[in-house]
Amino acid sequence: MDQLPDRPDPGDVSSVVAERSRLEAALALLPPRQRAAVVLRYCEDLPEAQVARALGCPVGTARSHASRGVARLRQILSDAVRPVG
Read off the pTM. 0.77
Report the topology of domain 29-85: Arc Repressor Mutant, subunit A (1.10.10)
**Looking at residue 66, what is its pLDDT?**
98
Judged against a pLDDT cut of 60, whether residue 5 lies above it is answered with no
Give 74's Cβ-side CA count (13 Å radius). Answer: 6
- Pair 51, 62: CB distance under 8 Å: yes
The Cβ of residue 9 has, within 10 Å, a number of other Cβ atoms equal to 9
**Looking at residue 15, what is its pLDDT?**
82
For residue 8, name the pLDDT band (cuts at 50, 70, 90). Answer: low
